Each structure stands twice: as structure tokens, then as C-alpha cells.
Amino acid sequence: MKYIIVTGGVMSGLGKGITAASIGRILKNKGFSLTAIKIDPYINIDAGTMNPYQHGEVFVLKDGAEVDLDLGNYERFLDIELTGDHNITTGKVYQTVIEKERRGDYLGKTVQIIPHITNEIKERIRRVAKRSLADICIIEVGGTVGDIESMPFLEAMRQMHSEEKEEDIAFVHVTLVPLDTQGEQKTKPTQHSVKELRSLGLQPDAIVARCREPLHQDTKSKIALFCDVPVKAVISAHDAKDIYCVPSMMEKEGLSDYLMDKLRLTAKEATHEWNELMKKMDGIDKEIRIAIVGKYAHLGDSYISINEALKHAGVECGCHVKIYRLEAEEFEKNPELVDSLKNYDGILVPGGFGARGTEGKILAIKYARENNIPYLGLCLGMQLAVIEFSRNVLEFRDANSSELAKTEHPVIDLLPEQEKVKNLGGTMRLGNSEAILTQGSLASRLYGGTHLVERHRHRYEVNPKYIPQIEAKGMKFTGRSDHRMEIAEIPEHKFFFSSQFHPEFRSRPGKPSPPFLAFVKAALG
């Protein structure tokens, strides 16, 4: 097994995740199989309880694990499916070590950071790498070098370096090269970051320098001299027009060849689908405008998988999808603003939890339904579509979800078996689940059959008691998993499709999600 370990310095948010995913992609293009691990130094067990404003979206894996959004980038760039074991957090590591200590596994020894915590980290990494049967395992160490919470993980990486063969492990350090007021590229932050890394016993084999413009040759030479790496190992990661261009940029910089030399790898049969994707992106000559009506509108990372799924569909259709994130609460404060939705080619309401902004989303859904504008609802976006339809077509004016308010018409509710569970954490529906589709429905046409597997992240369901009344008025539930409703569509509408699952999590470049592809096609007209 070959290991590539990606660390970061200077500041957070430089793009370690995209760097790690891009390294994986250029090596996959050379014919190698890869897996990826994300280390998050926070004490949370997983990302499930984190506020999207603070941490971006919660990505859901096939086994139901709620993880950092970088794992979504790994899946999209590498076209693989990961599990919760591929996300290592401080909380997971300490919980396991404490459980072992309570069982007496350490036979009375004093349990310490070294060796017990670091051993647990290394065991987890090697176990995941071995199970994957991949040629290369990429490990992204979250946080920034110098953070106190990252220390045990970096120490574990140092130990791995001494335990693995020299040709089986490589370190890539991501830093920042800012411009001063005169426009000069400054290397001092990179120098200090590498100095900090070396003080921990780690020497980078390659440095990926984030910068606004391509690194000048003298800047590369200066970094190489002060950081003790070859000039060819200083990689310019300047701003790209799209994240999917980053692998090609790194390939041109020679990073794959350098890493293959370091790891003594010989290229296998090359693949070209990524280059074909780039050609498609370059040939785009149309544009559509899509409104995402949500409650995390100010932070783009809150809806990153949706953004990417729209992009995948747009590339397939030969159009650029221009996304406008609209704050749902603004529609609640000023309902007349909902008329501005006439300026968009499609309206999308994403998932979410809690009552904030839901009435504004319902106004947007009503506008889309009544004005025949293509609509795509995801998770809560489907539940609110059912609520809107029940209020304005069935005329149950107080129809709502029992999660959001007390109502005489809980068209969205906990199912009887869920109500018996006192701990609501045990009622979340997470990960892959199958659904059966109605033959001849829009859903069956999109998925090319009567069966699908998609990922979920929700608790409340459509109340079976109201289904006959809703369907009698024209909204059809064309996807079902036993007594759970998975898809609601309005056949008479130009395009009105909503799903209880999250199709964006399985969308890939070159393999767009069926609902997103159909939505973009409908928006194109």
C-alpha cells in the first residue's frame, strides 16, 4: 500500500480537500485505484450535529455516516463510494480508546496519547487502506499545522513515516503564497509553515502553493531553497475557473510524475474520461438561471453537493447553470418578493431541519406550481411541497409537519413505529435505501426502470392517512419504500419533482443525477 498524506499550513480553507481529491484524480487517470481518508481533529464523533454555517454541508455516505463535505469531493473526483470508517475524528479515536481502557484491554497500563491514541489512529488508517484493496490511500489531515488538536494525528503520521518503507509514503503540504500591496508573491508564510511542520519531525516531499496567479519561477526556487524540496516539487495551485480544472493544472505542473517517482510507481493503462469532461465544459455556450431557496443562502458550502449536481447536469446538457441562493426568510418578511422568481428558469428547495424559513420556501413552491416553473424539491423540499399542496389545493389551511408546528392536519408526521422510540436520534433515516417506482411515471422514466437506490437524511415522513386525498387532487407519490413515500410529482406540471432522498449525494462528473439532469433539461425548455 502506498500512502500520500496531505497537510495544511498558514490558514484553514486553502483547499486541502480539493488538493487531495485532485491528486487522487490525476493518479486515477494514470490507471491506479485509490481510496481516501479524511482526518478531522474536532472532538465531535461525526459532522451530523454541526451547523452548516460553521462547517458547510453534512455529506451522507452510503452506510449512513454523516461526514465532512471533503468526503463528497473525494467521491465525486474519484468516482468511488466511501463509508464512515474513511472519516476519522478525535471523538471517534478517544471514544474507542476509552472503551478499550474500561474493558481492561490495556492490562492496567497508563493510557496516554503516545502510544495508545497514536496507535489507534494508525490502526484505523491501515485497516481502511487494507480493506479498500486500492493501490494508493490518500490521507488528508484536517486543520492547520500548529493547531493543538492536530498534534496527535501529525505525530501518528510521523510514526507511520518511520514504520513504512521510504518509497511507500509521501507528504504533500498545502500552503499560501499571498501577494503584497505591490503585487509581489511572498514566500515567508510558506517558510514558517514548513518550519512548523519540520519541528514536528515531518518533512514535506512536495509543496502545493495556493496563490492568486501562477507562481513565478524565482518564487518556486526560493520556496525550494528555504523548504528543502526540489524545485519540481513546488506546485503552483493558482486560482482556477472551476475546481474540476485543478487536476489538469496539477498534472501540467508535473505533480503526478513527481509523486510516481517518489513512490516508485509505473503508470498503468491511462483513462481519458476526465479530459473528455474538460472538453465538454469548454464547449458550453448556453446558460440557465436556477434559484435555490434556502436558509443557509450566505454560505455556498452549505449546498455544495447541490451546486455540483447542478453543474454535472449542466455540463451534460451543454449549458452553464448560474445559481442564485435566495434567503427564504426574505419571502416571509416581504411576500411580494416571491414574484421575483419569474426571473429564473427553475426553482429548487433543498433539505434542512427546523421551522426557520419554511414559510418562505412554501411561498416559493406555490409560485413554481402555479406558474408552471420547473421545480425540484429535496428532502424537506418534498415535505414542504406536500404541505403547500395540502394547504392550497386540498384547502387544509393549517396543514403542516408535526416537526414544525402543532396542527390538525399533520400531513408530515412521525410514523407509528417512530413515535415509540423515545430517543429521536434512533429514528433518523440515513444512507442508502431502495425504492420502488410507479411504472410509466416521470420517476421511472428518469431512472430507466422501477427501482432505485439513493441516500437519505431525515426523520419525518408523509402521513399515510392523507395520501388518498392528495393523490385524488393530482399530486402522485410515484416512489415508495414500503409505507414510506419517496417521490412526489405532479404529472400535469411542466416539471414538478420532489424526493425524500438526496440525489445530489450520488451525482458525479460525467454521471449526473437523474432528477438533476431532468430538472436542468426542463429549465432549458
Give 196-223 as a DSSP string: HHHHTT---SEEEEEESSPPPHHHHHHH
What is the mean predicted confidence (pLDDT) over 408-418?
88
Provide the phi-psi class of 470: left if phi over 0, else alpha when psi is between -120 and 50, else beta.
Answer: alpha
pLDDT in tens, 114-123: 999 999 999 9
**Residue 492, phi then psi, degrees to nearest 5:** -75, -15
For residue 427, name the pLDDT band (cuts at 50, 70, 90): low
- Answer yes or no: do 288 and 242 share one domain: no
Strands 59-60 and 66-67: antiparallel
Q: Are 432 and 453 in contact (CB under 8 A)?
A: yes
User: Is residue 425 scored above 70 in pLDDT?
Assistant: no
**Distance of alpha carbon 166 from alpha carbon 163, whole angstroms:** 9
- Answer yes or no: do 127 and 231 share one domain: yes
**Distance of alpha carbon 164 from alpha carbon 215, whole angstroms:** 33
**Distance of alpha carbon 289 from alpha carbon 179, whole angstroms:** 34
80 within some domain: yes
User: Is residue 443 scored above 70 in pLDDT?
Assistant: yes
99 within some domain: no
Q: What is the mean pLDDT of the chain?
A: 94
Burial state string for 478-493 with b = 16 or more CB within 10 A and e = fewer than 16: bbbbeebbbbbbbeeb
State the catalytic residues: 379, 502, 504
* Among 475, 499, 496, 476, residue whose Cα is nearest residue 487: 499
DSSP states of 374-421 = -EEEETHHHHHHHHHHHHHTS--TT-EETTT---S-EEEE--HHHHT-
User: Is residue 306 scored above 60 in pLDDT?
Assistant: yes
Tell me the torsion sign for CA atoms 249, 253, 257, 263. negative
Q: How buried is 68 (Cβ within 10 angstroms: 0-12 exposed, 13-18 middle, 19+ buried)?
A: buried
- Answer yes or no: do 78 and 210 share one domain: yes
Q: Which of 225, 248, 276 is at the close of a domain?
A: 276
In this structure, what CATH number is given to the domain that contains residue 497?
A: 3.40.50.880
- Answer yes or no: do 269 and 309 share one domain: no
- Answer yes or no: do 55 and 152 share one domain: yes
Structural domain total, the chain: 2
Question: 115: cis peptide before it, omega within 30°?
Answer: yes
421 within some domain: yes
The answer to which of 300-304, 487-491, 520-524 has the lowest mean pLDDT is: 300-304
For residue 225, name the pLDDT band (cuts at 50, 70, 90): very high
- Answer yes or no: do 158 and 46 share one domain: yes
- Answer yes or no: do 302 and 263 share one domain: no
User: Is residue 386 scored above 90 in pLDDT?
Assistant: yes
- Answer yes or no: do 266 and 308 share one domain: no
What is the mean predicted confidence (pLDDT) over 158-166?
96
100 within some domain: no
What is the mean predicted confidence (pLDDT) over 105-115?
94
- Answer yes or no: do 315 and 345 share one domain: yes
User: Is residue 108 scored above 80 in pLDDT?
Assistant: yes
**Distance of alpha carbon 110 from alpha carbon 24, whole angstroms:** 39
Domain residue limits at 263: 2-93+123-276
Q: How buried is 146 (Cβ within 10 angstroms: 0-12 exposed, 13-18 middle, 19+ buried)?
A: middle
For residue 270, name the pLDDT band (cuts at 50, 70, 90): confident
**Residue 504, phi then psi, degrees to nearest 5:** -65, -25
Q: Are 497 and 513 in contact (CB under 8 A)?
A: no
**Distance of alpha carbon 258 from alpha carbon 375, whole angstroms:** 47
User: Is residue 415 scored above 90 in pLDDT?
Assistant: no
116 within some domain: no
C-alpha cell at 93: 479515536
- Answer yes or no: do 230 and 308 share one domain: no
Q: Are 236 and 214 in contact (CB under 8 A)?
A: yes
In this structure, what CATH number is given to the domain that contains residue 194?
A: 3.40.50.300
User: Is residue 323 scored above 70 in pLDDT?
Assistant: yes
- Answer yes or no: do 505 and 421 share one domain: yes
- Answer yes or no: do 481 and 401 share one domain: yes
**Distance of alpha carbon 444 from alpha carbon 452, whole angstroms:** 9
